[in-house]
Structure 1
Amino acid sequence: MNIDQADPAELAVLRAAFDVDDGGESALGWEAVHAFEAEHGIVLPEPYRTFVAEMTDGSYSGPPEYGLLSVAELPDDWGDDEQERDLSKPFPLAEAWMWEEASDQSEDADELLEQVYNHGSVVLGTDGCAMNWHLIVTGPHRGHVWLISDVGAVPFGEQFGFTTAEPGFAGWVRHWAANKPWYDAA
């Protein structure tokens, strides 16, 4: 997973999965990508960065279940729109956390939960029922995809033990395009 250079093979997988053939009309364009990055104090990880700049900035065809959101969009069921999201602050997790099962419901846990939702990620889309896919844009997990729901947060990729998929945005899309269940590890 190379998050600093766009791999032509990964870009080909993305083009095939989304069947983007509109001459780039639905793409954000490099100027808009650079403006988004400057506004938020981040650099989007590759190949997602090239994907939104050159291919498409969102898609109704998925993944996930309800389609891929625009880089600046939040799902309709997001909740508190007044909450400030700061993409430049590092995403706080490095391993799965099921807060629904956690015995520590302290103020520190509440603060960490707030950071999970609002720091260091763009929301890729939703599978409904507040199950949202995030691409981590800052912190140690930059470039990885996470499923964040109302009960916990789980990283996506074979090295985390829940799936056979390759990590990162391209691995996530490739897994979806192969019509595999998200979490298919035995």
Structure 2
Amino acid sequence: METERVDPDDLAFLRGAFGVDGGGQPALGWDAVRAFEAEHGIVLPEPYRTFVAEVTDGSPSGPPEYGLVPLATLPADWGNGRPERVLNRPFPLTETWVWEDDPRPGDVLDPLLDEVFDHGSVVLGTEGCGMYWHLIVNGPQRGHIWLVTGEGAMPFGSDPGSLDGEPGFLGWVRHWADGKSWFDMR
């Protein structure tokens, strides 16, 4: 999974998968992407970075179910009263965690959950029912996609215990474009 350079063929695939003329948001342009990165102290992983700069900044067609949200926004069902999102803090997970089965008390779990939901990632969109796709922008999982729900979090990609598919933004979009279910476990 390449996170520092974009392959022109991969960008062409992404452009076609989202049907640039299909009602999506205009691309942000490089100045806006660099300003977002500077404001948050991160560099977006490729090919997502070039995708939002040159192709589209959000699309009503998937992935995910309710469309790809623009870079600086959150899905409509995200909710109010959440802690501030801190993108330059590392995403805390490296493997699947089902917190609904975690025996630790809420005063221990709640700060950890806030980190999972709000640190080191941009939210790509929602499947509904509190299921959010995150692109990790900081930490050991940088460039990977994670599904974060009310019950737990798991990576999308080639890792054992993950949702099946090629890792990263490109693999996530390919999985959707191929008409595969998100929940085909290995």
Using the size of structure 1 for normalisation, the TM-score is 0.94
Task: Report what 2:180 is aligned to.
Answer: 180
Moved over 4 A (4+): none
CA contact (8 A) 2:66 2:127 kept: yes
The RMSD of aligned alpha carbons is: 1.7
Code of the aligned partner of 2:160 = F
CA contact (8 A) 1:162 1:183 kept: no
CA separation of 1:41 and 1:101: change in aligned 2, threshold 3 A: same
* Residues 127-182 of structure 1 deviation map (CA, whole Å, 9 limit, x = unaligned): 00110000000000000000001111010002234443100000000000000001
Unaligned runs of 5+ in 1: none
Aligned residues: 185
Percent of aligned pairs sharing the same letter:
62
Task: Report what 2:33 is aligned to.
Answer: 33
* Residues 5-55 of structure 1 deviation map (CA, whole Å, 9 limit, x = unaligned): 112222122111101148x97100000000000010000000000000000
Deviation at 1:110, TM superposition (A): 1.7
CA distance, structure 1, for counterparts of residue 163 and residue 126 of structure 2: 18
Code of the aligned partner of 2:133 = W
CA distance, structure 2, for counterparts of residue 176 and residue 146 of structure 1: 15
CA distance, structure 2, for counterparts of residue 48 and residue 56 of structure 1: 10
CA separation of 1:25 and 1:125: change in aligned 2, threshold 3 A: closer
Task: Report what 1:116 is aligned to.
Answer: 116
Task: Report what 1:167 is aligned to.
Answer: 167
For 1:1-16, what aligned pairs fall within 5 Å after superposition?
Answer: 1-16=1-16
2:125 match: secondary structure: strand
Using the size of structure 2 for normalisation, the TM-score is 0.94
CA distance, structure 1, for counterparts of residue 182 and residue 97 of structure 2: 18
Task: Report what 2:61 is aligned to.
Answer: 61
